[in-house]
Amino acid sequence: MKSLWKNEEVEGFSKDPLQLRVYTSRLLGANPDLVLHGGGNTSVKLSQKNFFGETEELLLVKGSGWDLATIESPGFAPVRLETLKRLAELETLSDCEMVRQQRAAMTDPGAPNPSVEAILHALIPFRYVDHTHADAVLAVTNHPDGEQSIQEIYGNRVIVIPYVMPGFVLAKKVRELTQNKNWSDYEGMILMNHGIFTFDDDAQESYEKMIELVTLAENFLKDRKALDSLARAESEEDLQKLSLIRREVSRIRREPVYAQLDSTAEACGFANLKNINELASRGPMTSDHLARTKPEPLIINDDIEKDVSLYARNYDDYFRRNTNGSQEILDLAPRWAVWPGYGLVSYGRSLNDSKVVRDIVSHTARAIQIGEALGRWEPIAEKHIFEAEYWELQRAKMESFKQSPEFQGKIALVTGAASGIGLACACEFVREGAAVTGLDLNADVENILDRDEMLGVACDITDSGAVSNAVDETVRRFGGLDILVLNAGTFPAGKLIEDLDDQTWDKSIEINLKSQQRILKTCIPFLKQGVDPAVVFVASRNVPAPGPGASAYSVPKAGQTQLARIAALELGQFGIRVNVLHPDCVYDTGLWTQETLERSAGRYGLTVEEYKSRNVLKSDVKSYEVAKMVCTMAGSIFAKTTGAQIPIDGGSDRVI
Whose Cβ is closer to Zn ion: residue 115's or residue 589's? Answer: 115
In the complex, minimum distance from the CB of residue 195 to Zn ion, in angstroms, rounded to a whole number:
5
- DSSP structure string for 479-541: S---EEEE-----PPP--GGG--HHHHHHHHIIIIIHHHHHHHHHHHHHTTSSS-EEEEE--T
In the complex, minimum distance from the CB of residue 287 to Zn ion, in angstroms, rounded to a whole number:
8
Whose Cβ is closer to Zn ion: residue 195's or residue 433's? Answer: 195
In the complex, minimum distance from the CB of residue 413 to Zn ion, in angstroms, rounded to a whole number:
41
Choice from 63, 188, 195, 409 touching Zn ion (CB under 5 A): 195
Residues between 152 and 181 with contacts to Zn ion, criterion CB under 5 A: none
Residues carrying an active site annotation: 553
Site for Zn ion contains 295 (CB under 5 A): no
In the complex, minimum distance from the CB of residue 461 to Zn ion, in angstroms, rounded to a whole number:
51
Q: Which stretch binds Zn ion (CB under 5 A): 67-75, 189-197, 255-263, 324-332?
A: 189-197
Rg over CA atoms, the chain: 30
Classify 256 as helix, strand or coil: coil
Whose Cβ is closer to Zn ion: residue 195's or residue 348's? Answer: 195
In the complex, minimum distance from the CB of residue 82 to Zn ion, in angstroms, rounded to a whole number:
24
Q: Which stretch binds Zn ion (CB under 5 A): 118-126, 188-196, 259-267, 307-315?
A: 188-196
Estimate to the nearest angstrom the gap between the alpha carbon of 589 and the chain centroid. 33
Site for Zn ion contains 583 (CB under 5 A): no
Tell me the number of residues near Zn ion by CB under 5 A.
Answer: 1
Site for Zn ion contains 114 (CB under 5 A): no
- CB–CB of 240/480 below 8 Å? no
Long-range contacts of 544-549 (CB under 8 A, 24+ apart): 544/582, 544/645, 544/647, 544/652, 544/654, 544/655, 545/652, 545/654, 545/655, 547/494, 548/496, 549/494, 549/495, 549/496, 549/603
In the complex, minimum distance from the CB of residue 116 to Zn ion, in angstroms, rounded to a whole number:
8
The whole-angstrom separation of Cα 490 and Cα 242 is: 34
- From the list 132, 125, 115, 53, the residue with the least C-alpha distance to 79 is 115
Number of residue whose CB is nearest Zn ion: 195
Site for Zn ion contains 29 (CB under 5 A): no
Q: Which stretch binds Zn ion (CB under 5 A): 194-202, 344-352, 528-536, 546-554?
A: 194-202
Q: Which stretch binds Zn ion (CB under 5 A): 192-200, 360-368, 410-418, 581-589?
A: 192-200
The whole-angstrom separation of Cα 196 and Cα 161 is: 10
- CB–CB of 363/371 below 8 Å? no
Length of the chain: 656
Whose Cβ is closer to Zn ion: residue 121's or residue 565's? Answer: 121
Site for Zn ion contains 416 (CB under 5 A): no
Site for Zn ion contains 78 (CB under 5 A): no
Whose Cβ is closer to Zn ion: residue 287's or residue 515's? Answer: 287
- CB–CB of 621/586 below 8 Å? yes
Whose Cβ is closer to Zn ion: residue 62's or residue 612's? Answer: 62
Q: Which stretch binds Zn ion (CB under 5 A): 191-199, 492-500, 541-549, 614-622?
A: 191-199
CB atoms within 10 A of CB 525: 14
In the complex, minimum distance from the CB of residue 356 to Zn ion, in angstroms, rounded to a whole number:
16
Whose Cβ is closer to Zn ion: residue 165's or residue 597's? Answer: 165
Distances in Å between the Cα of 300 and the Cα atoms of 169, 171, 259 are 37, 40, 14
**Would you tell me which residues interact with Zn ion (CB under 5 A)?**
195
